[in-house]
Amino acid sequence: MKLGFIGLGRMGHNVVLNLLSKKHEVVAYNRSADKVRKIVKKGAIGAYSAGELARKLARPRTIIIMISAGKPVDAVIRQLLPLLSKGDTLVEAGNSWFEDSIRRYKLCKGKGVNFLDMGTSGGLKGARYGASLMIGGDKQAFKRLEKLFTDMAARDGYAYVGASGAGHFVKMVHNGIEYALEEAYGEGFEVLKKCPYKLDLAKVARVWSSGSIIRSFLSELAEQAFRKDPELRKFKGAIGGGETGAWALKVAKKEMVEMETLAHALRVRKQSLKKQTFATKLVSALRAEFGGHKEAK
């Protein structure tokens, strides 16, 4: 199908490459024209304004938005709505606060435009070769685009999870779990690092990734990081990020659920700005491996 795509950062660029490999026509727009020119060389159709993107798409239009959460998303939707027609669909694929997604759904619905909120996980590799997609909004709009989601996702890696906001809600909780898991791996490997056995941490990570109860994508990434440098010297250990995890903890408290592992992970992230450990270095390394995330300054 032919669709529009707004946001050509690390994740967005790779999603577009994935879509192009599945023979979709992608009209791509980004504020910085150099990123548009770069993706055009890979086969996308370039657009240098929201208006140009809308004009290059036939009705009913489908446009995926993958940009920073918050005001930038609202600004793009305000730009697009006057250009769209009844029956067009916006898919917001960033890490947005779920209540913002509900508000945007109502705004778009009032204009006759469909709005789906889509949590996206899998890092840069997932974006390129198949991600995990958690999709909320009107089920009819989801059904119309299900073939697109199949092409974007890993095998069995997408689901309609509920009404408007549900996609970003599920992704928010996913991120809270992710933070806790990263912290657990960091602490565990710090114990291994400091023990008297002089362990090969890459080898341990490989064994854990092969059939153990705690195997995961994160243990695979830990092996990659340790193979590059067992000391993780590239990393200071000042962990960046944290907003979506904080949202998850806020909602958990409202629902009277004690996410103590997440609360601890968030405390460590905050403390890491002043005090770094081998554990926080590994968390930074994991974030760099899956998403190219930079450390906090």
Residues designated catalytic: 171, 178
Cis status of the peptide bond prior to 60, with omega within 30 of 0 = yes
Residue type, 101: S
Tokens of 175: 């991120």
Give the full edge-to-edge strand order of the sheet including 114-121: 45-47, 25-29, 2-6, 62-65, 89-92, 114-121, 131-136, 153-162
Q: Tokens 């996308």 correspond to what residue?
A: 44
Rounded CA separation 273/263 (Å): 16
Burial label, 9 (beta-carbon count in 10 A; 0-12, 13-18, 19+): middle
Beta-carbon contacts of residue 198 (< 8 Å; ≥ 6 apart): none
